[in-house]
Amino acid sequence: MSNKSLHISGLTVSYGRRAIIRDLHVSPIQAGGITALVGPNGAGKSTLLRAIAGLLPASGKVWLNGQNLLAMSRQQRAAYVGFMPQSLPAGVGLSVLETIVTALKVASPTGNEKLLRRRAVAVLERLNAVHLALEPLDRLSGGQRQMAGLAQALAPDPELLLLDEPTSALDLRHQFHIMRTVRELTRSGRSAVIVLHDLALAAEWADTVVVMSGGGLYVEGRPTDAVTPVMLRDVYGVVADVVALPSGSLRIDIRDLTDNGAAARQAAGDAA
């Protein structure tokens, strides 16, 4: 097996004394692809990304390209892993460019300021977002904030991208551009794990879909193997047909909710 991969095994993540993810094992994620992380609200998707990014204490194994991510310092990890949170913190009195430079400085604290600014501009150019460079972060629209968050995650050119709902506030053009940019990055040997609620978008762009439910793994596989009527019933509590389209993506026709949504509540961990 190639050394260029992400291994997650025996991973347990808790908030205080409450374990949200227990003993999670995921098949090794080979570099060069997009993995969509899906599942209902509260399933543990953000918790998993934050644990991999080193923002939450976790036990178990998270290895990237043969290196133990859980044992790395913040600076070492910043050079390997780019994390885009679901929402950027409010009240940051910096421009978009300054926030990207700040993110770059975590990965390379001794970096030359001018070069770091150039890299920050280059990443904004790649995202067609250079017009946002001097805008204060706090004055951006929801979609513009997502572009800024993504730019921060991409800027250090990390081996692994962890993106938490990167397209939820984006219009169609920006959605397509972002997914295509991420695909280009993965084709050059990086890995991306992306939380998506839009299962059709996940099926269109992801090589692998990992479905989480109640803090654990429900199923993983190619989009057509993972996104099935049975999964939609068990995990989301909906009765739906899944139609494979000639383009390779899927259409999901929801017909009804399952009886009183018990499956969905259980999947989200509320019934535990």
Ligand X SMILES: Nc1ncnc2c1ncn2[C@@H]1O[C@H](COP(=O)(O)OP(=O)(O)OP(=O)(O)O)[C@@H](O)[C@H]1O
Chain position carrying tokens 């572009």: 147
- Residue closer to ligand X, measured from CB, 107 or 211: 211
According to the binding rule CB under 6 A, does residue 46 interact with ligand X?
yes
| Minimum separation from the CB atom of position 16 to ligand X (A) | 7
Provide DSSP, 13-58.
Answer: EEETTEEEEEEEEEEEEESSSEEEEE-STTSSHHHHHHHHTTSS-E
- Residue closer to ligand X, measured from CB, 43 or 179: 43
According to the binding rule CB under 6 A, does residue 146 interact with ligand X?
no
According to the binding rule CB under 6 A, does residue 45 interact with ligand X?
yes
Nearby residues of 134 by Cβ (< 8 Å), 6 or more positions away: 95, 96, 97
Applying CB under 6 A, among 6, 11, 35, 44 the residue interacting with ligand X is: 44
According to the binding rule CB under 6 A, does residue 41 interact with ligand X?
yes
Q: Report whether 159 contacts 98 (CB < 8 A).
A: no
C-alpha–C-alpha distance, residues 51 and 103, integer Å: 18
Binding span for ligand X by CB under 6 A among 37-45, 91-99, 103-111, 142-150: 37-45
Binding span for ligand X by CB under 6 A among 36-44, 97-105, 110-118, 138-146: 36-44
Binding span for ligand X by CB under 6 A among 42-50, 64-72, 122-130, 138-146: 42-50
According to the binding rule CB under 6 A, does residue 20 interact with ligand X?
yes
What does DSSP assign to residue 112? Answer: -
Exposure string (b/e) for 82-99, b if CB count within 10 Å is 16 or more?
bbbbbebeeeeeebbbbb
Chain centroid to Cα 231, Å, comes to 21
Applying CB under 6 A, among 35, 47, 167, 175 the residue interacting with ligand X is: 47
- Residue closer to ligand X, measured from CB, 36 or 97: 36
Rg of the chain over Cα atoms, rounded to whole angstroms, equals 19
Binding span for ligand X by CB under 6 A among 35-43, 63-71, 112-120, 217-225: 35-43
Q: At what angle do helices 142-154 and 113-126 cross, to 10 degrees?
A: 130
Which residues are at the interface with ligand X (CB under 6 A)?
Answer: 15, 20, 39, 41-47, 269
